[in-house]
Chain A
Amino acid sequence: MIDEPFASGSTLFHKRDTRVKLVGAAAISLVLALCSSFLVAVTGCIITAMMLILSKPDLKLVSKRIIGVNIFTFFIWLTLPLTYGGSETLTFSMFNLSMDGIRLAALITVKTNGIFFCILALLATSTTASLGHGLEKLGFPKKLCFLLLFSYRQLFVINQEYHRLLRAAKLRGFSPANTMHTYRTYSHLFGMTLVKSWNRAERVHQAMLLRGFNGRLIPLNQSPPGKADYFFLIIMLLISLFLAGLSLFCYNSL
């Protein structure tokens, strides 16, 4: 269930330095998140979709992720047209749909998906381990990067522990329902997972101290960014600048 299906590959995007991709993703996400015109949102979405296609992802998986990402968008489509208000309305039998609400919901949908494509093309093509080290190189607090790397390392272990307990419960005939017993069982399963995590943390900490751990994890494969990486960074920044410029132009012409 938890894996990094997009991180393996040999495309242009997979080969780039993680730091460069992090900066590029942040710049493009920022411009797209802040834009308020359809033209910019759609242009940005098309550009990020092309980036995603160039990173050659598994399309079946992408479509599954799109559904997950759009749950909030779905909520917005359910509520905004009915509740947003405004002068223009469309009337369908008993519902008055607000045109402004529909417009905003559509804009949000385009922006959300554009940024999703960008994150998928730029961040999901790196492993979490290299993202953690990349953030540290970019100047993020060491403790925070350590937390990220270590939570990531232990995530699978804890997930497995929880599922082992759940399997044991199911073998004893546990089937979830709307009862207090179900909630208590889930709580105890999760409580036991916490107990195991706590004891594991202690053991891991002791083992790392024995190996001379001083608060830093040292990556083995971090070469400095090369010419191609800087070139890639310039292209990403140019895309963001282009979108920002277009955004300003649309804002002024309103």
Chain B
Amino acid sequence: MHISEGILSAPVLAGGAVLTTLGTAVGLKKLDYDRIMTVSLFSAAFFVASLIHVPVGPGSVHLLLGGLLGIILGWGAFPAIVVALALQTIFFQYGGMIVLGVNGFTIAGPAVLCGLIFRPWLKGSRKQQMIAGFLAGFFAMFLSALLIGAALYLSDRGFLRAAGLLLVSHLPVMIIEGLITMFVVTFLAKVQPEILSLNN
């Protein structure tokens, strides 16, 4: 879910821009040229994930998989997500240039946080891996929806109930994100554990 351009107030836009700049700077600093290719490819994969529509009830939702990217790339997920969002603005005009700061932070912030929290759990048993995967996917989406709601509320108090509605309506999406992240994590742990840095 993106916030479109033209909705948020100046202080919120500025705050988002500052936080995203900081996060991207940290992510880029931690990223050396040996890993940059991997991050670019996962950034592209993240873009592709957003085109995958998964059935939920009578409709369908598209995947986000921020938690998964956070688990795999750690801080590197920050620039990866910002780049993927910039590409979406260029290709589909979703989001925008000015609101990119807020959109970047609302998606990449929770992704990195969940990645840092749940990555150590992956070293445990298969059950622990499943739980870590589910929680990372679920909470990354939950926190993103919460931050989007907060950005709306801070821009205009009248958005309060709309923001609440947004959070509640994303509950099924959070569960799907959790399930998909869980399955992908256990799949990767079995097929190519290096991606999750589990081989050392």
A180-220 interface (Cβ within 8 A of B): 180, 182-184, 186-188, 190-195, 197-202, 204-205, 208, 215
How distant is the Cα of A22 from the Cα of B191 in the complex, in angstroms? Answer: 43
Chain B hits for A49, CB < 8 A:
none
Chain A hits for B52, CB < 8 A:
162, 186, 190
B159-200 interface (Cβ within 8 A of A): 159-162, 165-166, 176, 179-180, 182-184, 187-188, 191-192, 194-195
Which one of B40, B97, B158, B182 lies within 8 Å of A85 (CB-CB)?
B158
How distant is the Cα of A201 from the Cα of B48 in the complex, in angstroms? Answer: 16
Contact: A150 with B2, CB < 8 Å? no
Chain A, interface size category, equals: 35 or more
A72 at interface (Cβ–Cβ under 8 A)?
Answer: yes
Residue-wise interface mask of B (14-47) relative to A, using a CB-CB cutoff of 8 A (1 in contact, 0 not): 0000000000110010010110111111111101
Q: Which of A8-16, A87-95, A114-122, A230-238 sits within the interface?
A: A114-122
Chain B hits for A72, CB < 8 A:
1-4, 7
Contact: B38 with A201, CB < 8 Å? yes
Chain B hits for A162, CB < 8 A:
48, 52
Determine chain A's interface SS by DSSP, over half rule.
helix
Q: Which of B87-95, B106-114, B120-128, B138-146 sits within the interface?
A: B87-95
Contact: A148 with B86, CB < 8 Å? yes
Known: A1-B51, A151-B41. A29 touches B98 (CB 8 A): yes
Contact: A195 with B188, CB < 8 Å? yes
Among residues of A, the one whose C-beta sits closest to the C-beta of B182 is A187
Contact: B7 with A159, CB < 8 Å? no
Known: A80-B162, A154-B40, A187-B184. A195 touches B191 (CB 8 A): yes
How distant is the Cα of A149 from the Cα of B156 in the complex, in angstroms? Answer: 36
Contact: A114 with B83, CB < 8 Å? no
How distant is the Cα of A175 from the Cα of B114 in the complex, in angstroms? Answer: 32
B66 at interface (Cβ–Cβ under 8 A)?
Answer: no
Contact: B158 with A151, CB < 8 Å? no
Chain A hits for B72, CB < 8 A:
194
Chain B hits for A176, CB < 8 A:
54-55
How distant is the Cα of A112 from the Cα of B54 in the complex, in angstroms? Answer: 28
Contact: A112 with B180, CB < 8 Å? no
Contact: A33 with B99, CB < 8 Å? yes
How distant is the Cα of A198 from the Cα of B44 in the complex, in angstroms? Answer: 11
Contact: B33 with A215, CB < 8 Å? yes
A249 at interface (Cβ–Cβ under 8 A)?
Answer: no
Which one of A124, A182, A184, A205 lies within 8 Å of B37 (CB-CB)?
A205
Known: A144-B83, A183-B54, A190-B180. A104 touches B6 (CB 8 A): no
Which one of A65, A119, A194 lies within 8 Å of B96 (CB-CB)?
A119
Chain A hits for B55, CB < 8 A:
176-178, 182
Contact: A194 with B83, CB < 8 Å? no
Chain A hits for B182, CB < 8 A:
187
Given contacts A111-B7, A124-B90, 20 further A-B contacts (CB under 8 A): A1-B51, A4-B91, A25-B97, A29-B96, A32-B6, A33-B6, A33-B13, A69-B94, A76-B7, A80-B158, A83-B160, A108-B6, A112-B6, A143-B36, A186-B52, A190-B63, A190-B184, A194-B45, A197-B42, A198-B42
